[in-house]
Structure 1
Amino acid sequence: MIEPLIRAANLEKTFPGTGRKEPRVSVLRGISLDVHPGEMVSIVGPSGSGKSTLLYCLSGLEPYDTGSVHLAGRELSSLRRGALAALRRRHVGFVFQSFNLIPSLTARENIALPARLARQRVQRAAIDRALADVGLTDRGGHRPGQLSGGQQQRIAIARVLALRPDIVFADEPTGSLDTATGTDVLRLLRASAGDGRSVVMVTHDLEAAALADRVLVLRDGTIHRELRHPTPEQVLEAITLAGASA
């Protein structure tokens, strides 16, 4: 049996209260889930349900209080900071709404940066292919400030495509894009889930969520419902019911 790329068990996460005497606020409450190779999973839910916190805990960007997360076979809480960073460099790609491109680097240099940080050989052909995949072959020498928001997000996607990580974590990847560009970005993310690689995406976009193999609907830090290959209308209904019963 193929092992999941991500396995979370009884995941709990709290944040400090607003004042020193205020109790801690529970954000994740005993979440358990698996993400298998080749799978795309969307995480949706009402505002404040814990979507982004769950994504950050699964990817090792945010520590959790109790429970466990195994990422590519390694339990995250057992790793020191350097080992955790090395694990992410080897296995993980990130796509955020804010792009996170380095302003002083060209598009091509931004795409190559994760491989350089991981001390991997930078394949020029892989960068060329990634630029072609996002339709920006003629923008490789441009810096982020010379690109539109949609072009910057496509460069962020190209950065992930060139690295070919085992797992892509995407947090509202289409939140600041127009419809046409957002559709292109989602197509690329969907295509990147395959050949043993997986995508985990947080989104408010119903059409985006419905592209996934599974949709996890969060409510008050728990998995309220799981949908398999849903329509956008089914996703909306599940989110609405989660909000109404919160």
Structure 2
Amino acid sequence: MTEPRIQAAGLGKTFPAAAKGQPSVPVLRGISLDVAPGEMVSIVGPSGSGKSTLLHCLSGLEPYDAGSVRLAGRDLGSLGRGALAALRREHVGFVFQSYNLIPSLSARENVALPARLARRRADRGAADRALAAVGLADRAGHRPGQLSGGQQQRVAIARVLAAGPDIVFADEPTGSLDTATGAEVLRLLRDVARGDRSVVVVTHDLDAAALADRVLVLRDGEIHRELRDPSPRQVLDALTQARAGA
């Protein structure tokens, strides 16, 4: 049996009190989940339900207070900062709303950057193939400031494709894009979840969520519903119930 790419058990996270005399704020309350190789999982929920915090804890970007997370077969709780950084560098890719491109580098150089940071030989061919896969072969020499928001997000996805990570985490990847461009970006992410590669995406876009194999609906830091191969309408209905506390 193939080991899940991500395993979380009883995951808990509490934010400290904002001011003296105020209570601490529990954000995640005993979440357990698995993500299989080749699976795309969407996380949706009302504002403040813990979606982004869950993604950050699963990816090792934030520490958690309770439970456990195994990422690419490693127990995150047993790793120091250096080992965590190495694990993310070797096995994890990120796509964020803010693109996180280096303004002074070309699209090709941004795509090749993870290999350089990992001290691997930069493969210009791999970067160009990744840019071609997202429809930007003719923009390889352009800097981010010369590209539209949608094109910059596609460069970010090309960077993931070139690096070839086992797991891709995407946090509101279409939040700054128009509907048509966002749909194109999400189709690209859907294509990333093939073979052994897995994708976890936090999104408020119901059509985007419905592209996933599974949708997890969060409410008050807990998994309220789990949907398999849902329609956008089914995601909306579950999200409406979560907002209403039903």
TM-score of Structure 1 vs Structure 2, range by shorter chain: over 0.9
Q: Paired residue for 2:110?
A: 110
Residues 37-76 of structure 1 mapped to structure 2, 5 A cutoff:
37-76=37-76
1:186 maps to what in 2?
A: 186
Amino acid paired to 2:92: V
Pair 1:231 & 2:227 matched? no
Q: Unmatched 5+ residue regions in structure 1?
A: none
CA distance in 2, matches of 1:122, 1:241: 49
Once the 2 structures are TM-superposed, how far is the Cα of residue 20 of structure 1 from its aligned partner? 2.0
Structure 1 vs Structure 2 CA RMSD: 0.9
Runs of 4 or more consecutive aligned structure 1 residues displaced over 6 Å after TM superposition: none
Q: Give the partner amino acid of 2:173.
A: P
Shift of 1:10: 0.2
Q: What's the secondary structure of 1:95's corresponding residue? A: strand
> Is residue 12 of structure 1 aligned with residue 12 of structure 2?
yes
Instruction: With the length of structure 2 as denominator, give the TM-score of the two structures.
Output: 0.98
- In 1, distance between residues paired with 2:150 and 2:47? 25
Structure 2, gaps ≥5 residues long: none
Give per-residue Cα distances to partners, 1:11-41, cap 9 Å, x unaligned.
0001012212212100000000000000000
Q: Distance in 2 between matches of 1:85 and 1:115?
A: 14
- Give, in whole Å, the separation in 1 of the partners of 2:144 and 2:183: 21
Structure 1 residue aligned with 2:161: 161
The code of the aligned residue for 1:41 comes to V
**Which residue number corresponds to residue 28 of structure 1?**
28
Q: Indicate if the aligned counterparts of 2:171 and 2:203 stay in contact, CA closer than 8 A.
A: yes
CA contact (8 A) 2:31 2:223 kept: yes
Count of matched residue pairs: 246
Counterpart CA distance in 2 for 1:101 and 1:201 is 19
Of stretches 220-229 and 115-124 in structure 1, the one that deviates more from structure 2 is 115-124
* 1:219 paired to 2:222: no
Alignment of 1:141-156 (within 5 A): 141-156=141-156
The whole-number CA distance in structure 1 between the counterparts of 2:147 and 2:62 is 31
For 2:211, what is the secondary structure of its paired residue?
coil
Residues 108 and 124 in structure 2, CA contact (< 8 A), matched pair in contact too? no
Aligned to 1:210: 210
Aligned residue number for residue 90 of structure 1 = 90
Using the TM superposition, give the Cα deviation of residue 218 of structure 1 relative to its aligned residue in structure 2, in angstroms.
0.2
In structure 2, how many angstroms separate the alpha carbons of the residues matched to 1:79 and 1:142? Answer: 38
